[in-house]
């Protein structure tokens, strides 16, 4: 297992949100974490990344425990996340954002080229002035271009136009094939059903269902879990 | 005794340049130079406060003591027969080490609770004053003016050292602020100010940045101390009078905005110089206090207290 | 209250006897240190109880000292009335500072800075304004307290000053045992919550600051008679540091702590300073920093914890069943809607959170507000109870225009709010939390001083306490409850005022599935029995199906659909939003 959570508990302030969540992500695997609004998906992402304190349970990355590590320590240990919102320094330029994420200037164009031509040559632009979709792509690119062994993608398709969702799917495929583990957090199924190897369903801070992409009744089960 | 000490009146004492008979225009020039001198002192003293507050949200009530220790570095340099200008970089180095040490041992433990921080640095200021008193006693020390005499420019005589002080202070303030806006470290700092969580999650070690910021803040205070050392008596209490002025600058200039230090120092210096011209230093202090209350009234303060 | 008075009287007799026995020098020390203790207690009231970090408590102390010195020097026979004048001067100074500083809700840090700068500025004023203050040397030769043309002899004055200082301390001790003490603690630990319960917190804070100023002013007058002089250093950094040190070391929010802190530290400095002056001051600095870092609560609370003493044996409010049903049992009169939000717009920067939302409730019902993240649900709830204002549109509650009013005004009008995460006064007991919720609607400061500690609790709140077993644990501090119990206590508090409209923000957050269904049953019953109108923001559809009469769906700051659960669930627009094919 590249990323492993055992009985993970955490919450906001004194409100417990995750009541003991266990899952694992292997190398060369995309695990889709799905669940309704308010199920605790973003809390889970923030806990894995280290922005929320773990109040119980354990987190392992490539066999080392990272439960008590600061977020920056987890990044160095090989964990990268693309957040759903507030994922870029919007006041700073695109190039500054790349620098801050550890990309030397000469690599910038390569990272920006990752998603067709729409971001290329725009390193000097303020990140906040990119369109919503472009910000999403930049966020994804910052994670995907890194050498991290585990990627956590929080709703990367939200607000992305269909052709770009396709492209994101290709990049995720490529990242998986290079042996990385990917935790894909999604509220909607379009991308997840295309690329994910396994599914886990979160509800009220607990994992209530899980299955492999091959399970014959999976689609129905997921639809049921995600219905309003 | 205390009133007689030039250092006791803090920034205000810098406005007492000799004023022989001169024309109204010359008087105005002199007033402007005095104002500029006050601005430079305020800006360089407030710079470190602003950096530490903007980046870490820490109100450092011991900042005046950092200035005072900088002045003592100057005194030690003089006592050992070295050139006064040696003391400026030396004070920066000494204070950087002291500041970094204090960050590691004290600030780090409390910096997420603003109220506790303010108390801890309050206590720290007592410790520093007293420690200095143990080493150097309460006696007034002095550093001779390395550049005595006055320069005639714009039609008036003005102390040469004061010109140098203005120049050096402005260079240090602008260079520090430019470093914070242009360098890689500066980029990191701006990222942390913009969004500490995201910075941490992008792999930036915010703890190290705090350590450096506190060190740099202290170092600029050290430079300020070394620069003002020849202008007044050096004693353990000498840092206290700088505190109100520097805080007024930070309040007026705005929290969380580095260049606000310059704007705040300009405003406070202008108000104080103007009021001193017509009344005296006390009214100047009261006027800038009123200004701070007004500014606070008109602006939402972006210092969020962490809910417990 | 009787306990505090007895304690005060016993101490007064004890100190008087001690002063006589020890005589001269010691008696003088005791009286001076008790004056300092009174000053520390005034800071404790302002900072320890109310949470206003005043580093300028020397302002009322010093100005009153100067005033008193002036009066007593000019007319020695007026020195007794001058004590009262000093208290009034202190109160007036603090009231003025409080009004200037506290009205804009500055953070503790800003208050600390401004009050400190103010105090240091006054030191300079006192040095410069020679005609009035005597300049740097101050005013000397202030006569002892006197009346009818005679001055008290030294020994007698020491005892009188000791007793008067103890009297001032006792007054504060009595005050904090009144309901207002619990309310001040509430404001200190959660001001927003207190406001949502109907407390005009700014007014109460200014009141507390003023009372603290009166006590400090009184102490200032005693000080000047005791020492016979006053100089600008009375406003200086050294004394300012010391007052905070005494209060901090003894323990904030305990009254006894600062008294012990002031006495212990002053006796220690008096004893050690002769031998050891420089090291002693350094030691006080180290103690200061050490206490801040190691035991920020101070000595007394730490000792209590260490020795497992029952912390704060304060008398708990008694909860009495209210005869009147505070909650509405009848539909509101003649066709007035319960609330009407009309065309509400709210922008946050360039982002439009609410884009002309119109939402009304005509008769008591259980309404759920749902919608994707960022739809504006919580913002709308905030606007319905005055937590936030809006840029356009209007809010009417029970037929009255309430747009732009403060949240405490909404609360007094019957709008009650439960926040998403429990917002309790963690330091206070369950009973005190409920009591505070009932006092909120009639909470002028003096009313909170005069009223009894009993609380008239409406039936629904008592029912919740009973059902959840919280009534067995009335003395437990709220902070020690489990998360689930906190949620219940929070709901009980929301209906403990004169609640006529209940707003709940994600009441099941952090609850398990089973707990949230239990919550649904309880809320349904509350609504059915008491006909209480309830609005709930929720995500959990199982809960919503169990609880809602009617559901309103918000999306992108506007109402998307409205109807029964089934209607909404089958609405294609809603399905589209939730299935995510919305772009």
Q: Is residue B305 very low, low, confident or very high in pLDDT (cuts 50, 70, 90)?
A: very low
- What are the structure tokens assigned to C412, written together? 């007094």
Supply the pLDDT for residue B169: 92
> Average pLDDT of B239-253?
83
User: Picking from C372-376, C407-411, C427-431, C475-479, which range would have the lowest pLDDT averaged per residue?
Assistant: C372-376
**Contact between residue B156 and residue B18 where contact means Cβ atoms under 8 Å apart:** no
- What are the structure tokens assigned to B56, written together? 């870490």
Task: Say whether pLDDT at C580 is over 60.
Answer: no
- What are the structure tokens assigned to C459, written together? 């039936």
Residues, chain A: 228
Q: Which of C138-152, C214-228, C450-464 has the highest mean pLDDT?
A: C214-228
**Contact between residue C123 and residue C236 where contact means Cβ atoms under 8 Å apart:** yes
Task: Say whether pLDDT at C330 is over 80.
Answer: no
**Residue with the larger pLDDT of the pair C202 and C135:** C202
Q: Are C580 and A190 inside 8 Å of each other by CB?
A: yes
Q: Does C324 touch chain A (CB under 8 A)?
A: no
Q: Are B205 and A72 inside 8 Å of each other by CB?
A: yes
User: Starting from the edge strand earliest in sequence, which strands make up the sheet with A64-65, in order?
Assistant: A15-25, A3-12, A54-61, A64-65
Supply the pLDDT for residue B272: 83
DSSP strand pairing (C415-418 vs C501-505): parallel
Q: Are B134 and C279 inside 8 Å of each other by CB?
A: yes
C-chain CB neighbours of B303 within 8 Å are 107, 109-110
**Contact between residue B97 and residue B259 where contact means Cβ atoms under 8 Å apart:** no
Test the A interface: residue of B194, B201, B205 with most A CBs within 10 Å: B201
B-chain CB neighbours of A145 within 8 Å are none
What are C486-538's pLDDT values in tens digits?
888 988 998 888 888 999 988 877 676 777 888 889 899 888 888 889 999 98
ipTM: 0.89
> Average pLDDT of C563-572?
89
C-chain CB neighbours of B125 within 8 Å are 241, 285
Task: Say whether pLDDT at A24 is over 50.
Answer: yes
Supply the pLDDT for residue C477: 85
Instruction: Return the closest-CA partner of residue C441 out of C246, C245, C204, C195.
Output: C195
Q: Is residue C324 very low, low, confident or very high in pLDDT (cuts 50, 70, 90)?
A: low
Instruction: Return the closest-CA partner of residue C255 out of C42, C41, C35.
Output: C41
C-chain CB neighbours of B61 within 8 Å are 116
**Contact between residue B103 and residue B214 where contact means Cβ atoms under 8 Å apart:** yes
Measured at the CA of C569, the angle between CA C565 and CA C570, to 5 degrees, comes to: 120
> Average pLDDT of C418-443?
87
Q: Is residue B7 very low, low, confident or very high in pLDDT (cuts 50, 70, 90)?
A: very low
Closest residue to A12, CB basis, from C421, C511, C578? C421
Q: Is residue B271 very low, low, confident or very high in pLDDT (cuts 50, 70, 90)?
A: confident
Helix H or strand E encompassing C236:
none
Closest residue to C512, CB basis, from A19, A37, A187? A19
**Contact between residue A96 and residue B187 where contact means Cβ atoms under 8 Å apart:** yes
Please tell me the distance from the alpha carbon of residue A126 to that of residue B97, in angstroms, as a whole number. 36
**Residue with the larger pLDDT of the pair C540 and B12:** C540
How many percent of chain C have pLDDT more than 70?
A: 93
Q: Are A92 and B200 inside 8 Å of each other by CB?
A: no
B-chain CB neighbours of C116 within 8 Å are 61, 244
* HSE-CB for C476 with a 13 A CA cutoff: 14
Distances (CA, A) of C447 to A60, A88, B74, C443: 58, 52, 61, 6
Q: Are C578 and A161 inside 8 Å of each other by CB?
A: no
A-chain CB neighbours of B199 within 8 Å are 89, 100
**Residue with the larger pLDDT of the pair B279 and B199:** B199
Measured at the CA of C262, the angle between CA C260 and CA C268, to 5 degrees, comes to: 95
Supply the pLDDT for residue C541: 80
Q: What is the DSSP letter of C46?
A: I
Q: Are B123 and C285 inside 8 Å of each other by CB?
A: yes
- What are the structure tokens assigned to B73, written together? 């570095």
Considering chain A, what is the average pLDDT of its residues? 87
Residue indicated by tokens 């609410």: C354
Supply the pLDDT for residue C148: 67
- CA-based nearest distance A137→chain B, Å: 16
Please tell me the distance from the alpha carbon of residue C34 to that of residue C113, in angstroms, as a whole number. 27
Supply the pLDDT for residue C329: 45
Task: Say whether pLDDT at C581 is over 50.
Answer: no
Q: Is residue B257 very low, low, confident or very high in pLDDT (cuts 50, 70, 90)?
A: low
Considering chain B, what is the average pLDDT of its residues? 82
Task: Say whether pLDDT at C146 is over 50.
Answer: yes
Supply the pLDDT for residue B10: 40
**Residue with the larger pLDDT of the pair C38 and A219:** C38
Supply the pLDDT for residue C512: 66
Please tell me the distance from the alpha carbon of residue C347 to that of residue C354, in angstroms, as a whole number. 7
Supply the pLDDT for residue C583: 35
Q: Which of A175-184, C6-15, C107-116 has the highest mean pLDDT?
A: A175-184
Q: Is residue B2 very low, low, confident or very high in pLDDT (cuts 50, 70, 90)?
A: very low
**Contact between residue A54 and residue A80 where contact means Cβ atoms under 8 Å apart:** no
What are C50-66's pLDDT values in tens digits?
999 898 899 999 999 99
Residues 6+ apart with CB under 8 A from B94: B69, B70, B73, B222
Q: What's chain B look like in SS3?
A: CCCCCHHHHHHHHHHCCCCCCCCHHHHHHHHHHHHHHHHHHHHHHHHHHHHHHHHHCCCCCCHHHHHHHHHHHHHHHHHCCCCHHHHHHHHHHHHHHHHHHHHHHHHHHHCCCHHHHHHHHHHHHHHHHHHHHHHHCCCCECCCCCCCCEEEECCEEEEHHHHHHHHHHHHHHHHHHHHHHHCHHHHHHHHHHHCHHHHHHCCCCHHHHHHHHHHHHHHHHHHHHHHHHHHCCECHHHHCCHHHHHHHHHHHHCCCCCCHHHHHHHHHHHHHHHHHHHCCHHHHHHHHHHHHHHHHHHCCCCCCCCCC
Q: Does B308 touch chain C (CB under 8 A)?
A: yes
A-chain CB neighbours of B204 within 8 Å are 72, 100
Supply the pLDDT for residue C350: 67
Task: Say whether pLDDT at C20 is over 70.
Answer: yes
Instruction: Return the closest-CA partner of residue A176 out of A162, A157, A195.
Output: A195
Supply the pLDDT for residue B95: 96
Distances (CA, A) of C323 to C224, C326, C536: 54, 9, 28
Q: Are B303 and C117 inside 8 Å of each other by CB?
A: no
In sign, the C-alpha dihedral spanning B190, B193, B196, B198 is negative
Measured at the CA of B145, the angle between CA B139 and CA B150, to 5 degrees, comes to: 140
Q: How many CB atoms lie within 10 A of CB B182?
A: 10
In sign, the C-alpha dihedral spanning B267, B271, B276, B281 is negative
> Average pLDDT of C419-425?
82
**Contact between residue C106 and residue B292 where contact means Cβ atoms under 8 Å apart:** no
DSSP string for A147-173: --SEEEEESTTTT--HHHHHHHHHHHH
What are B186-211's pLDDT values in tens digits?
888 888 878 888 999 999 988 888 88
Please tell me the distance from the alpha carbon of residue C389 to that of residue C410, in angstroms, as a whole number. 12
Please tell me the distance from the alpha carbon of residue A20 to that of residue B203, in angstroms, as a whole number. 27
C-chain CB neighbours of A15 within 8 Å are 420-422, 483, 509-510
DSSP string for C245-309: HHHHHH-TT-SHHHHHHHHHHHHHHHHHHHHHHHHHHHHHHHHHHHHHHH-TT-HHHHHHHHTT-
What are C220-253's pLDDT values in tens digits?
999 999 898 899 989 888 888 889 989 988 888 8
Residue of C nearest to A158 (CA): C580
Q: Does C367 touch chain A (CB under 8 A)?
A: no
Please tell me the distance from the alpha carbon of residue A54 to that of residue A133, in angstroms, as a whole number. 32
A-chain CB neighbours of B206 within 8 Å are 72
- CA-based nearest distance C373→chain B, Å: 20
Please tell me the distance from the alpha carbon of residue A44 to that of residue C192, in angstroms, as a whole number. 29
Q: What is the DSSP letter of C452?
A: -
Q: Are A70 and B207 inside 8 Å of each other by CB?
A: yes
Q: Are A91 and B194 inside 8 Å of each other by CB?
A: yes
- CA-based nearest distance C562→chain A, Å: 15
Q: Is residue A4 very low, low, confident or very high in pLDDT (cuts 50, 70, 90)?
A: very high
Residue of C nearest to B118 (CA): C109
Helix H or strand E encompassing A72:
helix A71-77
Q: Is residue C333 very low, low, confident or very high in pLDDT (cuts 50, 70, 90)?
A: low
- What are the structure tokens assigned to C271, written together? 């004893």
Considering chain C, what is the average pLDDT of its residues? 85
Q: Are A100 and B204 inside 8 Å of each other by CB?
A: yes
Phi, psi dihedral angles at C314 (to 5 degrees): -70, 145
What are C161-201's pLDDT values in tens digits?
999 999 999 999 999 988 999 999 999 988 888 999 999 99
Residues 6+ apart with CB under 8 A from A212: A197, A198, A199, A218
What are A52-108's pLDDT values in tens digits?
989 999 999 998 999 999 999 999 999 999 998 888 998 889 999 999 998 988 888
Q: Are C245 and B114 inside 8 Å of each other by CB?
A: no
Helix H or strand E encompassing C17:
helix C2-22
Q: Does C265 touch chain B (CB under 8 A)?
A: no
Q: Is residue B112 very low, low, confident or very high in pLDDT (cuts 50, 70, 90)?
A: confident
Supply the pLDDT for residue C302: 79
Q: Is residue B6 very low, low, confident or very high in pLDDT (cuts 50, 70, 90)?
A: very low
How many percent of chain B have pLDDT more than 70?
A: 87
Closest residue to A101, CB basis, from B184, B202, B206? B202
What are B117-161's pLDDT values in tens digits?
888 998 899 899 989 998 998 889 988 988 888 888 888 888 999
Supply the pLDDT for residue B246: 86
What are C363-398's pLDDT values in tens digits?
889 999 988 766 788 889 989 988 888 888 889 888
> Average pLDDT of B238-263?
80
Task: Say whether pLDDT at C349 is over 70.
Answer: no
């Amino acid at each position: 297992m590249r990323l492993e959570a055992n009985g993970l508990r955490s919450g906001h302030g004194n409100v417990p949100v995750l009541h003991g969540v266990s899952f694992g992500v292997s190398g060369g695997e995309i695990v889709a974490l799905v669940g309704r609004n308010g199920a605790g998906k973003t809390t889970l992402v923030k806990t894995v990344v280290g922005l929320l304190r773990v109040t119980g349970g354990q987190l392992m990355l490539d066999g080392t425990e990272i439960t008590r590590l600061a977020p920056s320590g987890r990044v160095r240990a090989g964990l990268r996340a693309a957040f759903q919102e507030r994922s870029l320094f919007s006041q700073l330029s695109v190039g500054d954002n790349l620098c801050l994420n550890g990309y030397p200037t000469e690599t910038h164009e390569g990272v920006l080229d990752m998603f067709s031509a729409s971001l290329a040559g725009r390193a000097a632009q303020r990140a906040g002035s990119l369109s919503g979709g472009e910000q999403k792509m930049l966020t994804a690119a910052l994670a995907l271009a890194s050498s991290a062994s585990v990627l956590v993608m929080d709703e990367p398709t939200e607000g992305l136009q269909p052709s770009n969702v396709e492209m994101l799917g290709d990049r995720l495929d490529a990242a998986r094939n290079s042996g990385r583990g990917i935790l894909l957090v999604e509220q909607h199924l379009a991308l997840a059903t295309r690329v994910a190897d396994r599914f886990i369903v979160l509800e009220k801070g607990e994992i209530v269902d899980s299955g492999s992409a091959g399970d014959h009744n999976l689609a129905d089960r997921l639809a049921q879990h995600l219905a309003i | 005794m205390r009133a007689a000490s030039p250092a006791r009146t803090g920034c205000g004492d810098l406005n007492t340049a000799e004023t022989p008979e001169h024309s109204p225009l010359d008087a105005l020039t002199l007033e402007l130079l005095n104002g500029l001198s006050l601005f430079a002192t305020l800006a360089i003293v407030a710079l470190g406060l602003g950096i530490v507050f903007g980046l870490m949200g820490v109100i450092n009530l011991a900042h005046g003591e950092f200035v005072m220790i900088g002045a003592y570095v100057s005194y030690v340099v003089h006592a050992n027969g070295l050139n006064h200008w040696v003391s400026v970089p030396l004070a920066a180095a000494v204070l950087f080490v002291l500041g970094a040490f204090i960050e590691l041992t004290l600030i780090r433990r409390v910096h997420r609770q603003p109220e506790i921080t303010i108390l801890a640095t309050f206590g720290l200021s007592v410790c520093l004053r007293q420690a200095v008193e143990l080493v150097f006693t309460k006696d007034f020390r002095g550093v001779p003016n390395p550049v005595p005499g006055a320069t005639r420019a714009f039609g008036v005589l003005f102390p040469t050292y004061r010109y140098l002080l203005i120049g050096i202070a402005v260079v240090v303030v602008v260079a520090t602020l430019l470093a914070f806006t242009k360098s890689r470290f500066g980029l990191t700092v701006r990222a942390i100010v913009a969004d500490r969580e995201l910075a941490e999650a992008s792999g930036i070690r915010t703890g190290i940045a705090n350590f450096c910021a506190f060190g740099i803040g202290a170092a600029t205070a050290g430079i300020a101390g070394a620069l003002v050392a020849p202008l007044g008596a050096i004693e353990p209490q000498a840092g206290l009078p700088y505190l109100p002025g520097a805080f007024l600058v930070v309040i007026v200039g705005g929290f969380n905005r580095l260049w606000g230090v310059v704007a705040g120092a300009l405003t406070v210096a202008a108000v104080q110089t103007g009021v001193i011209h017509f009344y005296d230093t006390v009214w100047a202090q009261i006027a800038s206090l009123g200004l701070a209350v007004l500014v606070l009234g008109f602006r939402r303060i972006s210092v969020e207290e962490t809910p417990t | 209250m009787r306990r505090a008075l007895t304690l005060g009287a016993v101490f007064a007799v004890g100190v008087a006897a001690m002063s006589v026995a020890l005589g001269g020098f010691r008696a003088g020390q005791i009286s001076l240190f008790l004056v300092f203790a009174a000053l520390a207690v005034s800071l404790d009231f302002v900072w320890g109880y109310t949470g206003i970090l005043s580093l300028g408590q020397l302002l009322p102390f010093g100005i009153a000292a100067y005033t008193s010195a002036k009066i007593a020097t000019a007319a020695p026979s007026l020195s007794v009335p001058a004590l009262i004048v000093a208290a009034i001067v202190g109160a007036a100074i603090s009231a003025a500072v409080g009004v200037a500083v506290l009205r804009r809700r500055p953070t503790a840090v800003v208050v600390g800075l401004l009050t400190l700068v103010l105090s240091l500025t006054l030191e300079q004023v006192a040095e410069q304004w020679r005609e009035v203050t005597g300049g740097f040397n101050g005013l000397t030769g202030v006569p002892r307290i006197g009346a009818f043309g005679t001055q008290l002899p030294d020994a007698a004055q020491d005892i009188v000053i000791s007793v008067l200082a103890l009297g001032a301390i006792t007054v504060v001790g009595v005050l904090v045992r009144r309901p207002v003490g619990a309310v001040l603690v509430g404001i200190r630990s959660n001001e927003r919550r207190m406001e949502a319960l109907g407390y005009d917190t700014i007014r109460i804070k200014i009141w507390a600051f003023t009372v603290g100023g009166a006590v400090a002013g009184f102490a200032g007058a005693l000080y000047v008679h005791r020492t016979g002089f006053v100089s600008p250093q009375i406003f200086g950094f050294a004394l300012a540091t010391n007052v905070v040190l005494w209060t901090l070391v003894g323990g904030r929010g305990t009254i006894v702590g600062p008294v012990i802190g002031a006495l212990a530290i002053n006796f220690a400095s008096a004893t050690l300073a002769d031998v050891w002056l420089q090291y002693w001051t350094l030691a006080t600095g180290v103690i200061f920093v050490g206490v801040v870092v190691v035991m920020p609560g101070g000595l007394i609370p730490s000792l209590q914890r260490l020795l497992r003493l029952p912390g704060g044996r304060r008398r708990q409010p008694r909860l009495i069943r209210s005869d009147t049903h505070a909650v509405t049992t009848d539909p509101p009169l003649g066709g007035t809607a319960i609330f009407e939000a009309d065309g509400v717009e709210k922008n946050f920067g360039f982002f439009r959170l609410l884009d002309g939302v119109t939402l009304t409730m005509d008769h008591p019902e259980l309404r759920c507000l749902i919608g994707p993240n960022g739809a504006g649900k919580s913002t709308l709830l905030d606007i319905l109870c005055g937590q936030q204002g809006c840029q356009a549109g209007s809010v009417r509650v029970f037929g009255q225009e309430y747009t732009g009013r403060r949240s405490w005004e909404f609360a007094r009008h019957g709008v009650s709010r439960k926040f998403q995460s429990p917002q309790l006064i963690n330091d206070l007991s369950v009973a005190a939390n409920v009591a505070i919720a009932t006092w909120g609607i009639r909470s002028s400061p003096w009313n909170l001083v005069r009223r009894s500690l009993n609380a008239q609790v409406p039936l629904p709140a008592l029912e919740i306490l009973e059902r959840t077993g919280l009534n067995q644990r009335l003395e437990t501090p709220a902070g020690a409850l489990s998360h689930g119990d906190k949620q219940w206590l929070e709901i009980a508090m929301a209906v403990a005022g004169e609640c006529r409209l209940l707003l709940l923000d994600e009441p099941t957050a952090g609850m398990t599935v089973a707990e949230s269904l239990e919550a649904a049953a309880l809320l349904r019953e509350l609504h059915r029995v008491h006909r209480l109108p309830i609005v709930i923001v929720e995500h959990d559809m199982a809960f919503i199906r169990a609880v809602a009469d009617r559901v309103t769906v918000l999306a992108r700051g506007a109402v998307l659909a409205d109807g029964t659960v089934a209607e909404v669930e089958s609405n294609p627009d809603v399905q589209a939003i939730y299935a995510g094919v919305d772009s």
